[in-house]
């Protein structure tokens, strides 16, 4: 697990090597163990390394192949690298290291751009062909590992995080070419959405989207060396780069074999976890007490006999919103190395500036802070952490997925099943979110938008008018035609912000986070399965619960609530630290005044903050102010 950065000067003029050194310094937390730079006048690549597999100097990057023609800088893990390595050895290749990095490089040499189709894992990498003067960047199927870029007529600048790109733009004296992305800010304020497309909060700094490749030539008139077909498209105003979507989940589901019984799901999930145990360093688990992380913990205990496992959990105190300690304590009889941390308003105020700077973009609520503290707790006790990220998206775990399910039953006129599921929902669930979501999803898109506007009516009218019609959140996330479409849409347009927070939080503390539920074999076969594997008799994640019978503690297996990394945000924001910030800084901030109707906003504050939308909106306003101050003031 590492951090990568690069600058390509299309005009073939000199790049000051100190710029790359500054970029690497900003992501040193991603790779504290080793670093390296490749510099060739008008192209420079930097790498910082967190050693996970083959801890020797043979894993140093950037890494050349034996011919010295090809160069790679890579962030991630390809878990099936040993199988691919054997295939390459049979084809005549030889290796000097035990790394997956070298396997990726030779896979590219052998199979070209299609090499990524062989990989099972998470990655963001760059490969340079120094003979044909081409650069190839790739990102994994679901966006587990990040990769951002800026491109204009002279430069292509890329990095694992946004901050090094900002540093390079300032150093090259072209920072004035970027500005706040107000459409993203609108989507963030109204829908809590980030990372739902290629855009970031910075106009002209984009991300390579998950399941996409990017290529470019870095010498004049060498586009003929790119060997493009019609599936590659120009993706920038300067026609310097070409991008292709190499992975299409919907297409893969057409050929995927659905699960016919829960045992098949369990065995494939076990296989996924086994692959993610490959490591030369200590492994632990982020244990929230929910169904997903508990499943991973139980498999490690009962299948792999990992009784010495370290687990890391955030707790808040009995009866406090978000506290899962009673479920986490189900593992007390089996584990000796359980670690706990208690995030609270005092720790958040103390961590506030450092925490926000971890992301370089605003975050819509405080749930990433709970994860941040869990990662802080794990540092020094483990280097690799497994967690349950992605399970809700592939199994329909969020309660509002019940709304899509009921909508599909109604559209299909499956009235008997529809009635039975409604009754079962009321019998099994204490939340009404599923029913409310069902009603909301039946509305026309225009009314869906108007309802969100009414709920968040403190957004400035001019700002609302300019950006409400150009948002793409309603039609990509809230208007899915079928239940399966809703899962695919969430994988394509919603999951990535969670993966980004997971990456930033873990890498901030020099940890690698692995997500077994996002093994592409598990994802594809799960999403191809029959509807009743997801929701059955008012119960979500049916196939997971059935597959864990006898392995998962019954109290966790049968729980119906959905908490995740919930935090007591209402009480936190009522602390003196935040109330003073709101009154003294947020209300009077000129940038925030462009976005918020202060009269309505102050009215909501005078209502003793009893509106469910006030606290999330306050947090978003605080985030935006500090983000804008750091990057644009």
The stretch 30-44 carries a mean pLDDT of 94
The stretch 494-499 carries a mean pLDDT of 96
Tens of pLDDT, residue by residue over 197-224, are 999 999 999 999 999 999 999 886 666 6
Percent of the chain with pLDDT over 90: 80
The token pair at 12 is 């073939």
Tens of pLDDT, residue by residue over 49-67, are 998 888 888 999 999 999 9
pLDDT at 76: 97
Q: What letters, b where the CB count within 10 A reaches 16 and e where it falls short, cover 238-277?
A: eebbbbbebbebeebbeebeebeebebbbebbbebbebbe
The stretch 129-144 carries a mean pLDDT of 96
Tens of pLDDT, residue by residue over 256-277, are 999 999 999 999 999 999 999 9
The token pair at 561 is 């609530």
Cα Dmax for the chain: 73
Judge whether residue 26 has pLDDT over 90: yes
pLDDT at 603: 61
The stretch 314-328 carries a mean pLDDT of 88
Compute the mean pLDDT over every residue in the chain, rounded to the nearest whole number.
Answer: 93
- Rounded to whole angstroms, the Cα distance separating 317 from 320 reads 6
User: In which band, very low, low, confident or very high, does the pLDDT at 229 lie, cut at 50, 70 and 90?
Assistant: confident
Q: Shortest CA distance to 439 belongs to which of 453, 451, 423?
A: 451
| Dihedral angle of Cα 335, 498, 123, 250, to the nearest 10 degrees | 110
- For the chain, the straight-line distance linking the first and the last C-alpha, in angstroms and rounded, comes to 33
pLDDT at 16: 94
User: In which band, very low, low, confident or very high, does the pLDDT at 608 lie, cut at 50, 70 and 90?
Assistant: very low
Its pTM stands at: 0.95
The stretch 538-546 carries a mean pLDDT of 95
The stretch 99-123 carries a mean pLDDT of 97
The stretch 372-382 carries a mean pLDDT of 97
pLDDT at 611: 56
In this predicted structure, which of 390-404, 457-471, 566-580, 602-616 has the lowest mean pLDDT? 602-616
Q: Which residue intervals of 50-179 are DSSP H helices?
A: 81-90, 100-111, 162-171
Beta-bridge partner residues of 74: 125
Q: Which residue has the higher pLDDT, 254 or 606?
A: 254
Q: Shortest CA distance to 393 belongs to which of 502, 584, 541, 609?
A: 541
Judge whether residue 429 has pLDDT over 90: no
């Amino acid at each position: 697990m590492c951090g990568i950065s690069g600058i390509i000067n299309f005009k073939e003029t000199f790049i000051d090597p100190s710029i790359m050194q500054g970029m690497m310094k900003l992501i040193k937390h991603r790779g504290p163990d080793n670093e390296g730079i490749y510099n060739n006048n008008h192209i420079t690549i930097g790498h910082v390394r967190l050693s996970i597999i083959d801890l020797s100097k043979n894993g140093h990057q950037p890494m050349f192949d034996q011919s010295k023609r090809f160069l790679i800088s890579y962030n991630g893990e390809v878990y099936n690298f040993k199988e691919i390595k054997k295939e390459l050895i049979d084809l005549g290749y030889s290796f000097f290291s035990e790394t997956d990095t070298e396997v990726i490089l030779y896979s590219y040499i052998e199979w070209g751009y299609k090499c990524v189709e062989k990989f099972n894992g998470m990655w963001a990498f760059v490969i340079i062909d120094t003979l044909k003067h081409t650069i190839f960047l790739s990102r994994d199927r679901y966006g587990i590992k990040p990769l951002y870029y800026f491109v204009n007529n002279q430069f292509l600048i890329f990095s694992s995080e946004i901050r090094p790109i900002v540093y390079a733009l300032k150093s090259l004296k072209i920072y004035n070419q970027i500005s706040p992305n107000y459409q993203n800010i609108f989507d963030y304020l109204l829908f809590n959405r980030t990372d739902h497309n290629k855009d970031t909060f910075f106009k002209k700094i984009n991300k390579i989207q998950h399941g996409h490749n990017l290529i470019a030539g870095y010498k004049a008139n060498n586009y003929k060396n790119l060997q493009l077909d019609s599936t590659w498209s120009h993706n920038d105003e300067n026609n310097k780069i070409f991008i292709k979507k190499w992975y299409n989940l919907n297409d893969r589901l057409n050929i995927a074999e659905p699960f016919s019984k829960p045992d098949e799901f369990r065995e494939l999930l076990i296989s996924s976890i086994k692959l993610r145990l490959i490591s030369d360093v200590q492994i632990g688990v982020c244990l929230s007490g929910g169904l997903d992380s508990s499943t991973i913990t139980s498999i490690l205990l009962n299948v792999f006999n990992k009784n010495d496992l370290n687990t890391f959990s955030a707790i808040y105190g009995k009866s406090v919103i978000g506290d899962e300690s009673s479920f986490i304590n189900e593992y007390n009889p089996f584990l000796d190395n359980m670690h706990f941390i208690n995030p609270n308003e005092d720790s958040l105020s103390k961590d506030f500036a450092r925490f926000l700077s971890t992301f370089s973009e605003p975050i819509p609520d405080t749930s990433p802070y709970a994860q941040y503290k869990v990662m802080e707790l794990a540092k020094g006790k483990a280097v690799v952490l497994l967690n349950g990220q992605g399970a809700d998206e592939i199994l329909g775990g969020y309660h509002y997925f019940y709304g899509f399910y009921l909508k599909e039953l109604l559209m299909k006129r499956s009235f008997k099943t529809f009635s039975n599921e409604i009754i079962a929902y009321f019998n099994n669930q204490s939340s009404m979110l599923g029913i409310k979501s069902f009603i909301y999803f039946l509305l026309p898109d225009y009314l869906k938008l108007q309802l969100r506007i009414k709920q968040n009516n403190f957004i400035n009218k001019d700002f609302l008018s300019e950006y409400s019609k150009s948002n793409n959140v309603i039609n990509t996330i809230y208007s899915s035609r079928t239940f399966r479409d809703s899962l695919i849409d969430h994988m394509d347009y919603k999951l990535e912000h969670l993966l980004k927070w997971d990456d930033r939080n873990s890498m901030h503390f020099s940890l690698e986070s692995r997500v077994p539920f996002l093994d592409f074999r598990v994802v594809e076969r799960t999403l191809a399965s029959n509807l009743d594997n997801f929701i059955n008799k008012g119960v979500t994640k049916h196939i997971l619960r059935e597959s864990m019978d006898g392995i998962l503690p019954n109290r966790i297996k049968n729980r119906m609530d959905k908490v995740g990394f919930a935090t007591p945000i209402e009480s936190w924001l009522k602390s003196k630290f935040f109330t003073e910030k709101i009154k003294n800084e947020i209300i009077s901030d000129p940038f925030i005044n462009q976005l918020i109707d202060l009269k309505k906003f102050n009215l909501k504050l005078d209502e003793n903050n009893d509106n469910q939308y006030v606290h999330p909106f306050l947090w978003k306003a605080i985030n935006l102010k500090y983000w804008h101050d750091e990057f644009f003031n």
